[in-house]
Chains A and B, each alone.
Chain A
């Protein structure tokens, strides 16, 4: 219970800081909308083409934009050495990780929810036909991004080239989560339920989340205390 209370305090602090400065929100949102807009004009895709690559396009946007948010997760603690105060507090490394991952998840998911209608308008897609399924898959893929991104953000926070290093490390690790998220999103954009032969992708995505969350919670203390 204490761990969750500490995690909630960290998450609420991160969200309050972000909403006050809007550092990540503004850049991430404008980046996402611009990419969607550019692709729409560059390819002028037909409805058949959208069924083929809609999920892929959305996740490319989310993953690239997501790097901007997770990069700030621990970097925001650097000015004034706030990270030292957090690490010396009774909050465990696991609660710090969970709090920061939760804040990153909320921000990413919020931006994705804004991007979906933009995607629908620009590509003429009725994306809401299986809304609960689509939001569920978005949530699973987003948690994977938040989890991996925040963990690697903690690892790279003291590097001078962390903005370059973070995507280089995050993207390869994320492939086993983004691939199923893309496949499942493609299906759900058509309004159909997930077919039985696609359940293996869903299991892979859930398994990735369970494995990486457990690993990150377990290793957070070691990463933060050097």
Chain B
């Protein structure tokens, strides 16, 4: 049997004496989509940062496709979309995609395709600081997807997106999943997340209090998960 796409084994993360993550364990198979839920400060971003190799675990281990997350080959297969857009305001859309694309070996033709996909071709050579918030978000999506990642780590990807951009992102995520990519997205927008997710995890003060299949009840009732498994339950 092949190695899981993502494996977290007893992950702890301390900030000083405070445990931001407490013994987090789960596995995801290739092609699965995990909705990572939890209230503010539950540890969602911390967990995503550890899975993306941006931060080290204090205890425990994380493996991506059975390999070390900081290995260059592993990171070449990860797409990261954090809270912020991760773009340079003084550079144009094309220059931003080229800069990041050059680290992954993305061709110029692929960059042009992505500019078209996110509907930014007409402003591709204007500096990003002149873009609207929605345009910046769409460019950030192109930046995270352009190298065809096999694992997508998305932190609040739907925040500040308008309806059209949410539909675009959902379409791209569905397409990525269809091609076998694994997706982990942390969000407060439960409805959008549930539509995509095959698995659901709930973090509560750093502890994984629920990890399992997404059920029909979760899809129908946004508050079901928190009422059933949250600390107030």
Contact = CB atoms under 8 A, between A and B. Distances in A.
Interface of A: 2, 5-6, 9, 13, 16-17, 20-21, 79-82, 84-92, 221, 225-226
Contacts of A84: 49, 52, 54, 80, 82, 84, 86
Given A9-B103, A90-B75, A91-B103, A85 B86 contact: yes
Contact of B55 (A16, A20, A90, A225): A225
B103 A16 contact: no
Given A16-B95, A88-B80, 13 more contacts: A5-B102, A6-B102, A6-B103, A13-B88, A80-B84, A81-B85, A84-B80, A87-B53, A88-B52, A89-B76, A90-B73, A90-B75, A221-B70
Interface of B: 49, 52-56, 70, 72-73, 75-76, 78, 80, 82-91, 95, 99-100, 102-104, 127, 143, 153
Given A9-B103, A90-B104, A225-B70, A80 B87 contact: yes
A76 to B, nearest CB: 8
Contact of A82 (B52, B55, B87, B153): B87
Contacts of A6: 102-103
B103 A80 contact: no
Contacts of B76: 89-90
Interface centre among A20, A85, A221, A226, by most B CB within 10 Å? Answer: A85
Interface centre among B54, B78, B143, by most A CB within 10 Å? Answer: B54
Interface centre among A13, A17, A226, by most B CB within 10 Å? Answer: A13
Given A88-B80, A90-B75, A82 B88 contact: yes
B86 A81 contact: yes
A6 to B, nearest CB: 6
Nearest to A88: B80
B101 to A, nearest CB: 9
B54 A88 contact: yes
A80 B55 CA distance: 18
A52 B99 CA distance: 47
B14 to A, nearest CB: 12
A85 B100 contact: yes
Contacts of A21: 90
9 contacts: A5-B102, A13-B91, A13-B99, A17-B88, A20-B91, A81-B83, A88-B52, A90-B73, A225-B54
B86 A82 contact: yes
B213 to A, nearest CB: 28
A67 B127 CA distance: 28
A85 to B, nearest CB: 4
B92 to A, nearest CB: 10
A20 B75 contact: no
B54 to A, nearest CB: 5
Interface centre among A5, A20, A86, A88, by most B CB within 10 Å? Answer: A88
A96 to B, nearest CB: 10
Given A9-B102, A85-B80, A87-B53, A17 B91 contact: yes
